[in-house]
Amino acid sequence: MYDLLNLNIYFDENYWLDGRKLFTKDIYQSSILNWYYRHLYRKQKPINNKFVKSGPQKLVNNILRAFINRTDVVFNNNIYDNYYFCTYSQNNKNQLLDILEEKNKVIVGPLYSIDNFLELVEFTYKYNNLRIVCASYSAKKTMLKIANFTDQKDIIKVLPVGISSSAEILKNKEESKSNIQNDCLIYLKGRKKTELDSILKALDSKNLSYEIFVYGKYNNSRMVNIAKASKFGIVWGRTESQGIGINELMSTNLPLFIIDSSENYFNNQVYEGTSVPYWNDACGIKIDSIDYFDKNFSKFLIDVKSDKYQPYKLIIDQLSYEAMSKNLVNLFKNISS
């Protein structure tokens, strides 16, 4: 049984639909389907994962899946006294300010631009009933530096989105590896395939099969299914606020070899980050540079064979729907109205 949230969740689908073009390489990203997406969102229904091609859309879709069957949560409706705006832009600024004036408890984020984040920080000086959320502690650290904000009142909180229910994660764990189709799943984000040469040579030399998924160019459901049927994964990406795509791989209990990215660039400034904000040694191996790949890969394969890694446990503990619900309950308990 869960604690009651009594929560209104607001999102604006224009945050990711605006700017889409009619003619695109991927039909699911074409503006021709915007009417269909808006139709589902008006009915407060998540869309099929195969249609999801962007991080913000995936985040909101997961929130819909997490709370759609909860009687104590509504979407884009004003029923309860607690409010969660997962998207914020000038489109809903006036609505947010009206709600804050009524002394309701409000959480906003993590989908906002830098300028809108700075605006939210300004609002916190006036409204004690407002909290801003980031998707991870590493994302919070970056945002604090960008805003040059010390957060002495602790108004910026961490709230990762849930990946799946605990029951579904356990089900995936039992199903995974029951029908192995290939050895390795490779996930690339913000990298060129040509950068994989040394990795592919290492896999080929060991007669290991693999399939490559490139961010923005794959079917999400298919990648998860291949993860269930693979022995391990290799991830080479860029810094992440949360890394939902990587979290989904972990939720299938896929051991991961991470080539970490630690530099996040904004306005010609370099900020510290990571490709895996949610990680521990039970998830796999993480290296700081491709230069260390050969040195660590053989050990990783030995550990995979011995079933050393259990990444699903971290997902249940920190990134399940139940964990997100508990985080929200605790956040609202600590906001003064």
Is the pLDDT assigned to residue 203 strictly greater than 90? Answer: yes
Q: Which of 131-135, 175-179, 200-204, 227-231 comes out lowest in average pLDDT?
A: 175-179
% pLDDT > 70, the chain: 99
Is the four-CA dihedral 127, 153, 131, 57 of positive or negative sign?
Answer: positive
The predicted-structure confidence for 26-46, as pLDDT tens digits, reads as follows 888 899 999 999 999 999 899
Rounded to 10 degrees, what is the CA torsion of 16, 17, 21, 24? 70
Rounded Cα distance between 176 and 84, Å, is 35
Rounded Cα distance between 335 and 337, Å, is 6
Is the pLDDT assigned to residue 124 strictly greater than 90? Answer: yes
Q: How confident is the model at residue 1 (pLDDT cuts 50, 70, 90)?
A: low
Is the pLDDT assigned to residue 239 strictly greater than 70? Answer: yes
Long-range contacts from 22-26, C-beta under 8 angstroms, 24+ separation: 26/53, 26/216, 26/217
Is the four-CA dihedral 42, 46, 52, 58 of positive or negative sign?
Answer: positive
Contact 2, 322 (CB under 8 A): yes
The predicted-structure confidence for 264-323, as pLDDT tens digits, reads as follows 777 777 888 999 999 999 999 999 999 999 999 999 999 999 999 999 999 999 999 999
Least Cα distance to 69 among 17, 123, 5, 114 occurs for: 5
Cβ atoms within 10 Å, residue 33: 15
Instruction: Give the CA diameter of the chain.
Output: 65
pTM for the full predicted model: 0.94
